[in-house]
Structure 1
Amino acid sequence: MGKEKPEEFYKRLKEQLDESTTWPSDYLYKFIVPTESDKIGKIQDIFDNTGAVIESKQSKKGKYTSISVTVNLKNPDEVIQKYKEVGKLKGVISL
């Protein structure tokens, strides 16, 4: 997100998703988290019961884990809602 305010970032993201995607559609989230099972588990919990396919891969030194989540969502608002839920977790980087 950088220096941009979250509201502005999400507004711009919603506009881009509206223009570039036909909904419902699969959306790919990518996150980097410190390799702590509780953080990884919390991300999995956020996408529980959504039919999401979740893949994770540890970094070479095992300090970080990349998590890819592919999930079919109805509209850009659902995409943003999940980003906001994951954004509440400290130390998680959304790509």
Structure 2
Amino acid sequence: MTQDNTQNQEEFYKKFRDRLDDTTEFPSNYTFKFIIPSDNKRIAEVQRLFDGARPQFQMKESKTGKYTSVTAVVYVLDADQVIHYYQSASSIEDVYML
């Protein structure tokens, strides 16, 4: 990753943290949404992100069956925990975070 990309990511997550702190009262349940190719391996990777967090999952396949939306509701303590989950998800190939 280039220095520019690293700085852009740091700036993005700083702004995101500020928005979360302004709009969300922590601790609370937080809803994470992902779109991924309908591949059991990738779905399992997303689910593993939340191991130990007792998430509530909801999945819905697209009309064509090519993609699956994964919604996870997780109790989080603060904005940093939300960001940690999103940063972890970014390492999964072809995952779109909403």
With structure 2 as the length reference, what TM-score do the two structures score? 0.90
Which residue is 1:59 aligned to? 62
Gaps of 5+ in 2: none
Which residue is 1:43 aligned to? 46
Deviation at 1:85, TM superposition (A): 0.5
Give structure 1 regions of 4+ aligned residues with deviation exceeding 6 angstroms: none
| Partners of 2:38 and 2:69 in 1: CA distance | 9
User: Alignment partner of 1:47: what SS?
Assistant: coil
Match of 1:14 among 8, 12, 17: 17
Mark the structure with the bigger radius of gyration: 2
Deviation at 1:72, TM superposition (A): 0.7
| Partners of 1:36 and 1:5 in 2: CA distance | 30
Q: Which AA in structure 1 matches 2:33?
A: K
Deviation at 1:80, TM superposition (A): 0.2
| Partners of 1:31 and 1:23 in 2: CA distance | 22
Q: CA RMSD in A?
A: 1.5
| Partners of 1:76 and 1:13 in 2: CA distance | 9
User: Alignment partner of 2:71: what SS?
Assistant: strand
Aligned length: 93
Deviation at 1:7, TM superposition (A): 1.4
| Partners of 2:89 and 2:64 in 1: CA distance | 24
Which residue is 1:85 aligned to? 88
Gaps of 5+ in 1: none
| Partners of 1:85 and 1:53 in 2: CA distance | 18
Which residue is 2:30 aligned to? 27
Q: Percent of pairs identical after alignment?
A: 37
